[in-house]
Every structure is written in structure tokens, then in C-alpha cells.
Amino acid sequence: MNTSAKRILLTVAGAPAAALAVWALAVPVAGTTLTVRMGVGTQAIEPGLVLVVSLLVGLAGWALLAVLERFAPRPARIWTIVALAVLILSLLGPLGSAVGIATMLVLVLMHLVVGTVLVLGLARR
């Protein structure tokens, strides 16, 4: 496996690991309950959900970058702009659905941590 592939795998795996670290500090250590409004009810943000969603986001980012590298001029620049736009838009979720300020802050932090890991790790290919 070449260095680029190793870095991609570490980045895509690192994003969920970083999100789970934030979750672990906020929920079991600090005692925060992460709950969001979903339709007519609420849903707790559990570690499995954090893992799956952040992993899917990382894989989607990697796939987009691979397509851009094949068909676009300056793919890293285009990808970074798209990734930052998606990150900014993703912050609307916690801002609009979090039950409580603590939950909102933790979820925003999770989004920022995952976005930072992916942007720094994938844009440097």
C-alpha cells in the first residue's frame, strides 16, 4: 500500500475516531445527554450513530475527491471549497435540532472536528 492510500485510510478512519473522542468526553465523562429533535420525537446521539455517520461522510468526501481528480482541473482546490461549504451547511443541523445548549455545542464541535480531519487529510493528496 502506498503512502497516499495509507493517508486516505487513516483520514477516513480518523474522522470517526475524532468524533467518538468528542462524544466520549461529552457523554460518559462530562455527563452530557445528547438529544436531537427528530420529527415529532427526540433521538439520543449514541456512539454507533456517530461512527456510521462520520464514516459515511469520510467515504463520500473521498469518493468526490477521486472523481474530481479524474475529471477536474485543480481537484484539491475544488474539493476543499465543496467540503468547506458542506461543513458550513452541516452546522445547520445541530443549530436547529439540538435539545439544549450543551448538546448543540457538542454536536457543532463534532461537525467541526470531522470536517477538519477530512479537509486537512484529504485535500493534501
pTM for this one? Answer: 0.93
Distance of CA 74 to the CA centre of its chain: 23
Residue 123 to residue 101: CA distance in whole angstroms: 32
pLDDT at residue 61 tops 90: yes
Tally the residues of the chain: 125
* Beta carbons within 10 angstroms of residue 50's beta carbon: 22
Contacts made by residues 35-39, CB under 8 angstroms, sequence distance 24+: 35/98, 35/99, 35/100, 35/103, 36/93, 36/94, 36/97, 36/98, 36/99, 36/103, 36/107, 37/97, 37/98, 37/99, 38/97
Q: Sorting pLDDT into bands at 50, 70 and 90, what band is 123?
A: confident
Classified as helix, coil or strand, 28 is helix
Residue 72 to residue 14: CA distance in whole angstroms: 26
Burial of 58 (0-12, 13-18, 19+ CB in 10 A): buried
Predicted confidence at residue 125, as pLDDT, reads 56
pLDDT digits (tens, 9 = 90+) for 80-105: 999 999 999 999 999 999 999 999 99
pLDDT at residue 4 tops 80: yes
DSSP character at residue 91? T
H-type helices in 25-74, by residue range? Answer: 47-71
